[in-house]
């Protein structure tokens, strides 16, 4: 069970050593640093998806929330010449509002999370093009600094990861997310407001998407029309490979981070081998399916252990 729950860490070692033997460039410190740096914005989306999965739901719209938050903030900044200091909170606010919309529809109205987030995915995709059909450039230097500066970006992610892990483990509300995801009926009988916790999980996921929007913008030094496009399923695969249960209530955001690193190592290795992007997407798709198989294996082992006990 320990190996299955922490499988991502073992796979990181395996793939890294394999690629390093075949391509010694993997051992170069500057390459390692850039690999970690480039995984930061995706890592934030992994954390966003992980929070929602822990609550027993899932969110198909996280990459479009990120894109819409980045695009709307960028448009307002360039249209009204908003200073960087006032502009920085904008994508976080927009992401939080988008996440709370999903949370309200799923938590308080009791709608199916798949249908809701599929609908908001399409809505936010269209909204991005309505806000601006072209990429946005010439943003304030201070605004793009959190995503552009390698050290700031990685330290910020590390701090967010630690705070999130601390919140989930030691705060009552954080533990309630696990309770609701594991058994919502039992949580309700214990006095947990299931609707409120579900709303909070989606809202927190939206906030993380907003932070990702800021980091993605700095990483690109612009807001491309396709910013963060296609990363929902990458985040989903990383979270599940990192041990977040599809059934909710089980998993660790620290291990979800391991899932992020695993995908980064695999992608970096494929880039060194000059594998075409479309082939890399095929491999990512295979990893999504693998994540489902691994999650099923975990649940099977847990059920067998429970019967023995």
Q: What is the pTM of this model?
A: 0.95
The residue-averaged pLDDT of 14-27 equals: 93
Nearest to 71 by CA among 219, 214, 233, 235: 214
Residue 298 confidence (pLDDT) above 90: no
Look at the chain and report how many structural domains it folds into: 1
Share of the chain above pLDDT 70, in %: 97
Report helix angle 113-131 to 89-103, nearest 10: 150
Contacts of 303 (CB under 8 A, 6+ apart): none
In this prediction, residue 306 has a pLDDT band, given cuts at 50, 70 and 90, of low
Instruction: Assign 6 a pLDDT band (cuts: 50, 70, 90).
Output: confident
Q: What pLDDT score was predicted for residue 1?
A: 62
Instruction: Report how far residue 37's alpha carbon sits from residue 31's, in angstroms, rounded to the nearest whole number.
Output: 10
Domain holding 164, by residue range, is 2-308
What is the pLDDT averaged over residues 189-201?
97
Give 293's pLDDT tier (boundaries 50, 70, 90).
Answer: confident
CATH number at residue 187: 1.10.3470
Tens-place pLDDT, residues 88-135: 999 999 999 999 999 999 999 999 999 999 999 999 999 999 999 999
């Amino acid at each position: 069970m320990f190996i299955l729950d922490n499988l991502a860490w073992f796979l990181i070692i395996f793939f890294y050593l394999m690629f390093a033997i075949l391509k010694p460039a993997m051992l170069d410190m500057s390459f390692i640093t850039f690999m970690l740096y480039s995984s930061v914005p995706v890592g934030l989306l992994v954390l966003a998806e992980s929070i929602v999965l822990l609550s027993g739901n899932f969110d198909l719209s996280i990459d479009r929330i990120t894109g819409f938050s980045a695009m709307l903030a960028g448009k307002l900044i360039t249209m009204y010449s908003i200073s960087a200091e006032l502009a920085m909170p904008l994508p976080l606010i927009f992401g939080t509002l988008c996440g709370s919309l999903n949370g309200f529809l799923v938590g308080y109205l009791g709608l199916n999370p798949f249908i809701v987030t599929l609908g908001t995915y399409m809505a936010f995709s269209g909204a991005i093009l309505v806000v601006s059909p072209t990429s946005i450039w010439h943003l304030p230097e201070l605004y793009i600094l959190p995503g552009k500066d390698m050290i700031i970006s990685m330290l910020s992610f590390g701090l967010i990861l630690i705070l999130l892990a601390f919140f989930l483990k030691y705060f009552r509300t954080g533990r309630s997310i696990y309770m609701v995801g594991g058994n919502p009926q039992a949580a309700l009988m214990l006095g947990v407001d299931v609707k409120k916790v579900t709303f909070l999980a989606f809202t927190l996921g939206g906030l993380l998407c907003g932070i990702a929007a800021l980091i993605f913008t700095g990483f690109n030094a612009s807001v491309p029309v396709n910013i963060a496009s296609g990363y929902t399923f990458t985040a989903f695969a990383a979270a599940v490979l990192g041990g977040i249960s599809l059934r909710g209530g089980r998993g660790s955001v620290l291990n979800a981070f391991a899932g992020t690193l695993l995908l980064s190592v695999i992608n970096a290795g494929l880039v060194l081998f000059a594998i075409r992007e479309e082939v890399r997407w095929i491999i990512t798709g295979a990893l999504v399916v693998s994540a489902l198989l691994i999650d099923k294996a975990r649940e099977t082992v847990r059920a067998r252990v429970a019967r023995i006990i």
